[in-house]
């Protein structure tokens, strides 16, 4: 069966693997009811990976659709995967991969793995920025300029223990709240070290460029 034979079988979604908007190749289709369809789909963009799509009819939107065609909402699985290439390109790719993995661990409730990947992300940032000291807490002190981040690092027991390599005990207590806090903290460090300096440089370039022109 050609997917193009039925307009309902031609739709665009965001590939959960490569993040590109694609009209997927439909490998298999299953109709649960005329308002609910399931598909095994293959990315037609850059990655060719397989994923799963469920499409439900949106009845309210269908009634108001002027073309008279039924409107469907697509749900793509696996859900909520953060792809490294979607993160700011000023961050080195390996560090983006680590952070994306940390974020994806949290979204599947793997909180200890999330915190462990955050540690790896921060440690790799510090090394990338030329940290000389051994303990992570000292490295944060050495490299990060933002005083608030330093204060948080010092007041967070888990971060302190990261420095002493005794994190295993504290990992037992990690719940979603701690995982979210550490993930947010890690993102702040990435912003502070990579994203903000680049943005400020661009602003500086724009302002000094204008100044020269007007002089």
Residue among 45, 70, 110, 195 that touches Zn ion (CB under 5 A): 45
For residues 186 and 131, give the distance between their C-alpha atoms in angstroms, rounded to a whole number: 16
Kindly write out the interface string for residues 6-25 of this chain, putting x where it contacts Zn ion by CB under 5 A and - elsewhere: ---------x-xx-------
Cα-flanking dihedrals φ and ψ of residue 2, to 5°? -80, 130
Residue among 47, 71, 82, 181 that touches Zn ion (CB under 5 A): 47
Size of the site for Zn ion (CB under 5 A): 6
Residue among 26, 41, 43, 87 that touches Zn ion (CB under 5 A): 43
Q: 73, 81, 18, 72: which is closest to 50 by C-alpha?
A: 18
Cβ at position 69, least distance to Zn ion in Å: 26
Between residues 41 and 113, which has the closer beta carbon with respect to Zn ion? 41
- The DSSP bridge pattern shows strands 50-57 and 72-77 to be antiparallel
Residues 6+ apart with CB under 8 A from 138: 163
3-state secondary structure of 180: helix
Between residues 22 and 149, which has the closer beta carbon with respect to Zn ion? 22
Q: 110, 98, 95: which is closest to 171 by C-alpha?
A: 110
Cβ at position 11, least distance to Zn ion in Å: 15
Is residue 81 part of the contact set for Zn ion (CB under 5 A)? no
Cβ at position 68, least distance to Zn ion in Å: 32
For residues 107 and 105, give the distance between their C-alpha atoms in angstroms, rounded to a whole number: 5
What does the binding site for Zn ion look like in residue numbers (CB under 5 A)? 15, 17-18, 43, 45, 47
């Amino acid at each position: 069966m050609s997917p193009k034979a039925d307009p309902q079988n031609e739709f665009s979604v965001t590939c959960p693997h490569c993040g590109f908007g694609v009209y997927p190749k439909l490998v298999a289709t299953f109709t649960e009811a005329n308002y609910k369809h399931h598909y095994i789909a293959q990315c037609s963009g850059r990655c060719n990976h397989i994923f799963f799509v469920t499409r439900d009819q949106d009845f309210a939107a269908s009634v108001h659709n002027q073309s008279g065609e039924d409107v469907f909402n697509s749900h793509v699985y696996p859900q909520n995967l953060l792809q490294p290439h979607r993160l700011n390109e000023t961050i080195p790719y390996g560090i983006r991969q680590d952070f994306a993995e940390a974020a994806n661990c949290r979204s599947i409730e793997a909180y200890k793995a999330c915190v462990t990947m955050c540690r790896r992300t921060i440690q790799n940032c510090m090394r990338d920025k030329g940290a000389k000291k051994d303990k992570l807490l000292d490295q944060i002190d050495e490299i990060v300029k933002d005083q608030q981040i330093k204060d948080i690092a010092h007041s967070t027991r888990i971060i302190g223990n990261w420095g002493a390599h005794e994190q295993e005990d504290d990992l037992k207590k990690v719940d979603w709240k701690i995982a979210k806090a550490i993930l947010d903290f890690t993102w702040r460090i990435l912003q502070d070290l990579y994203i903000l300096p680049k943005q400020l440089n661009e602003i500086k370039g724009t302002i000094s460029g204008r100044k020269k022109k007007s002089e």
